[in-house]
């Protein structure tokens, strides 16, 4: 594995590109929008500057890592030399299936095709290709340069050898891979999303306010961030999408998304990225909570 192509230059995509480049891999970062690619490279540079200031990366290492990343707006050109493709596009089934059909055509036959999906079936994605044994889930956590976990998800047809390669590769990125099987939500989101949904139901039913719910989980359960603020950071639209995958996949009403979550997403309140979710955020500074929309004060 030397040449890595990453599709999608948003939060997850630029984080994945960052980590691969930092660990010596040649990276092709692909997006349909040139402006988004420029923004992604600026983000990667800023995040590496933070590492330099903390002493975990030298200025020379940063320069070398940045030089390993080349941006592309043409999918075919961006994947033509790939040993591994990691798709990190929007969490949308139709979009991902379309991308993988094209990857099967454009990427070298030896290339492994991975997806960073947080909930969509690896088996279903692999089935639209002529190489399902080479299709696998590689679910990084956000923020990618910081979080150690990689969920490595085997589709029904994923081979043992491909799974072993991705497990070993993840370790070379200084990550801790965990192998799981392909069922809705895998492990992380099958457990996390019902918790977030229940927190939203607790707000919806008037059990407590936003700050109160988050404080209980932070102080009582030692969570570093409350579930409602975490939902804002993940994106309320993403949370809704994953819950719908779980609800459809299991046919169990316990996964039904809370009506409050549905209404907020339909109204455009999608969390930190839009400036408002369960909390309000200063535009362009997603990590700064200003006040709660649902505050009792």
Report residue 97 as tokens: 């299936």
Rg of the chain, C-alpha, whole Å: 19
In which residue are the tokens 């949308």 written? 92
Taking the C-alpha atoms of residue 101 and residue 220, their distance in angstroms, rounded to an integer, is 47
- Chain Cα centroid distance, residue 184: 16
Task: Identify the DSSP state of 252.
Answer: -
CB atoms within 10 A of CB 105: 12
Q: Which of 189, 197, 241, 292 is catalytic?
A: 189
Active-site residue 139, yes or no?
Answer: yes
Q: 47, 139, 241, 292: which is the annotated catalytic residue?
A: 139
151 given a catalytic annotation: yes
Catalytic residue list contains 23: no
| Alpha carbon of residue 282 to chain centroid | 23
Q: Which residues contact 132 (CB under 8 A, 6 or more apart)?
A: 123, 126, 155, 156, 157, 158
Distance (Å, rounded) from C-alpha 228 to C-alpha 209? 10
Give the number of other Cβ atoms within 10 Å of residue 92's Cβ. 13
Class of residue 179 by CB neighbours under 10 A (exposed 0-12, middle 13-18, buried 19+): middle
Q: Is 118 a catalytic residue?
A: yes
SS3 112: strand
Q: How far is CA 203 from the centre of its chain?
A: 26
Options 151, 202, 211, 241, the catalytic residue: 151
Residue the block writes with tokens 């070379």: 172
If we measure between CA atoms, which residue out of 74, 65, 58, 85 comes closest to residue 22?
Answer: 65
Is 186 in contact with 119 (CB distance < 8 Å)? Answer: yes
Catalytically annotated residue among 3, 118, 170, 241: 118
Active-site residue list: 118, 139, 151, 189
């Amino acid at each position: 594995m030397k040449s890595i192509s990453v599709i999608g230059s948003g939060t997850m995509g630029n984080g994945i590109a960052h980590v691969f480049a930092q660990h010596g891999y040649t990276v092709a970062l692909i997006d349909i929008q040139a402006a988004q690619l420029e923004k992604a490279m600026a983000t990667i540079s800023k995040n590496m500057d933070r590492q330099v200031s903390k002493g975990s990366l030298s200025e020379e290492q940063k320069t070398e890592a940045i030089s390993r990343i080349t941006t592309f707006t043409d999918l075919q050109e961006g994947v033509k030399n790939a040993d591994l493709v990691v798709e990190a596009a929007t969490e949308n089934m139709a979009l991902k299936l379309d991308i993988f059909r094209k990857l099967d055509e454009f990427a070298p036959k030896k290339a492994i095709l991975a997806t960073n999906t947080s909930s969509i079936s690896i088996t279903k994605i692999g089935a639209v290709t002529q190489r399902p044994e080479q299709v696998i889930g590689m679910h990084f956590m956000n923020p990618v340069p910081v979080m150690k976990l990689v969920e490595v998800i085997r589709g029904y047809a994923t081979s043992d050898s491909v799974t072993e390669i991705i497990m070993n590769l993840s370790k070379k990125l200084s990550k801790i891979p965990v192998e799981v099987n392909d069922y809705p939500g895998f492990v992380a989101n099958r457990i996390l999303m019902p918790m977030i949904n229940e927190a939203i139901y607790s707000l919806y039913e008037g059990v407590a306010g936003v700050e109160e719910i988050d404080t209980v989980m932070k102080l009582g359960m030692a969570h570093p961030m409350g579930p409602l603020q975490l939902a804002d950071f993940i994106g309320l639209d993403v949370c809704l999408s994953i819950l719908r995958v779980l609800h459809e996949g299991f046919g169990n009403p316990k996964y039904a998304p809370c009506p409050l979550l549905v209404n907020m997403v339909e109204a455009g309140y999608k969390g930190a990225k839009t400036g408002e979710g369960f909390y309000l955020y200063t535009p362009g500074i997603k990590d700064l909570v200003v006040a709660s929309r649902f505050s009792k004060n």
